[in-house]
Each structure stands twice: as C-alpha cells, then as structure tokens.
Amino acid sequence: MNNRQLLISLWTMVVKEIRRFLRIWPQTLVPPSITMTMYFIIFGNLIGSRVGEMHGISYMSYIVPGLIMMSVITNSYSNVASSFFSNKFQRSVEEMMVSPMPNWVILGGFVIGGAARGLGVGLIVTLVSFFFTDFSLHHPLLTLSVVIMTALLFSIAGFINALLAKKFDDISIIPIFVLTPLTYLGGVFYSIDLLPDVWQNIAMINPILYMVNAFRYGILGISDIPVTGALIAIAVFIVVFWSLALWMLNRGKGIRS
C-alpha cells in the first residue's frame, strides 16, 4: 500500500471505532459520566468537606485529576478490549485480515479509537467537574501529553487482553481484578504521603500512580513522584506494549489457526 492508501485505511479503522462507541453512547459515554458525578458528590463534596485540604488544595480539587485519569484509563482499556473481542467473536476481524492493511494499521486503528473514547469520556468528566470546582491548567502541554499517552497505553493493553481472550469473561477479569485495584491504589483519592513507609514503597511499583500524579502535576502543580520519570516510564510502557501487541498480531495469536 502506498502512503495515501495507508492513511485511508487507518482513517477508516479509526472512524469505524469511533462510530461504534458513538452508536452505543448510552453504554459507553453516559455510565462513566454518571459514576464520576457520584464520586464528585459523595467523595468530593460530602466526605471531602470533612477531609479538608490535601497538599494545601481542597479535597474536591485534589481528586479531580485522579478521577479524570481513572475515566480515561478504564474507558480506553475497555473500549479496545470489547471492540476487538467483539470483532473476533463475530469474525468481522476477518474483514481486516483478508485486506492488504498491515497489522500496524489494524493495531493503530483500534488504539486510536480506544484513546478517542478514553479522552472523550475524560473531557465529559472534566466538564462535569466544573459544576463542583474550578481549576486551571498548571502545565497545559504536560497535562495533554500525559493524558494522551495514558489513553494510548491502556488502549494497547486492552488490545492485548482481547487478543488473548477466548470468551467474554476474559475481557472483564483484568479490568476488575487488576485495573480497578491499581487505579484505586494509584493515588486517585489520596496522597501516598498518608501511607505508612512500607505501603509507600509498595505503592511506588504501581504504574498508575505515576500517571495519576503526572496528570495531577499538570493540572494542580503538585505530585508525589518525579514527573519526568513518570513521563519516561509511560513512554517506555507504550513502546513495550505496542511491540508486544504487534508481535502477537503478526504471529496471528488468538486470531489465526
């Protein structure tokens, strides 16, 4: 395929993915918005008013970046996991496999589509948060870089999950038993300074902690961890996961007999 054809095929993939989650917006866009509104009301407003400040910032403002990031992570991941697995299940993945599209275009299409949903939901949650608190971006470019990279990373992770999945249960195991605990323990609702030393050290091996804190730094200017290190770590994870996903796709793992 020449470059123009590659661009057309990638664009087709992305449009197809975005069309999918927009078509089922009551399942993809509304529930996370309602859940996050509940977090804002209960944790931010009701409980938060008794918690007081964290790092000199109101608790409501403190949790906003974490909740936005949590939405981005879970939606990017679940979009690609469920979309690609549905394609496997309905065998429509064969439409792509018989075409001359290179595998990186297929992977790229799903990943960009998943990131689009993650960022879309993140934007909705951001807009909802303005009903509860005001904030301005401390480092706009950093904020944008972190959220986009995180969305891409978890989209790729969702793709790997879907490639390996053999039944629908397999695409919910990782989000429930791995992603959710890591996100909750990733400093969304608290600063790790509050943890005992031992748990602080354990928390430092949680990759989501770095993403949440880097994003929080971009918005509020405060972080529990060095931001540069976090950016590098996310970039390395993206390269490793992308390479792994592409290798699996090239080998036909989970899709070719």
Partner 1 sequence: MAEPALSIRGLTKVYGNGFEALKGIDLDVGQGDFFALLGPNGAGKSTTLGIVCSLVQKTAGQVKIFGIDIDKDFAKAKYHLGVVPQEFNFSQFEKVEDIILTQAGYYGMSMKEAKPRSDRLLKDLGLWDKRSGAARMLSGGMKRRLMIARALIHRPKLLILDEPTAGVDIELRRSMWEYMRRINREEGTSIILTTHYLEEAESLCRNIAIINRGEIVKNTSIRELLTELDTETFLLDLAAPVETLPVLDGFELERVDAQQLSLSVRKGTSLNDAFEQLSAQGIKVLSMRNRANRLEELFVSMTSQPDASSDIDGAPSTSAKETAS
Residues that bind partner 1 (CB under 8 A): 1-2, 4-6, 8-9, 11-13, 15-16, 19-20, 23, 86-87, 90-92, 94-102, 252, 256-257
Give least dist CB 89 to partner 1, A: 10
Give Cβ neighbours of residue 210 (< 8 Å, ≥ 6 apart).
225, 229, 230, 233, 234
Give least dist CB 75 to partner 1, A: 19
Rounded (5°) CA angle 166-27-237: 55
Instruction: Give the distance between the most distant pair of CA atoms in the chain.
Output: 61
With respect to partner 1, which residue has the nearer C-beta, 64 or 101?
A: 101
Give least dist CB 256 to partner 1, A: 5
Give least dist CB 2 to partner 1, A: 8
Give least dist CB 112 to partner 1, A: 14
Tell me the C-alpha distance between 69 and 208, whole Å.
9
Give least dist CB 28 to partner 1, A: 13
Q: Which two tokens stand for residue 18?
A: 């975005």
H or E stretch at 219 = helix 207-220
Q: What are phi and psi of 57, to 5 degrees?
A: -125, 145
With respect to partner 1, which residue has the nearer C-beta, 164 or 233?
A: 164
Give least dist CB 76 to partner 1, A: 21
With respect to partner 1, which residue has the nearer C-beta, 39 or 84?
A: 84
Q: Which two tokens stand for residue 26?
A: 């009551």
- Which residues share a beta bridge with 58? 53
The dihedral of CA 91, 97, 103, 106: what is its sign?
negative
How far the first Cα of the chain sits from its last, in Å, is: 26
With respect to partner 1, which residue has the nearer C-beta, 90 or 228?
A: 90
With respect to partner 1, which residue has the nearer C-beta, 90 or 243?
A: 90
With respect to partner 1, which residue has the nearer C-beta, 58 or 103?
A: 103
With respect to partner 1, which residue has the nearer C-beta, 86 or 191?
A: 86
Tell me the C-alpha distance between 136 and 143, whole Å.
11
Quickly list H helices, 40-102: 48-51, 59-89, 93-97
Closest CA to 66 of 238, 250, 224, 209: 209
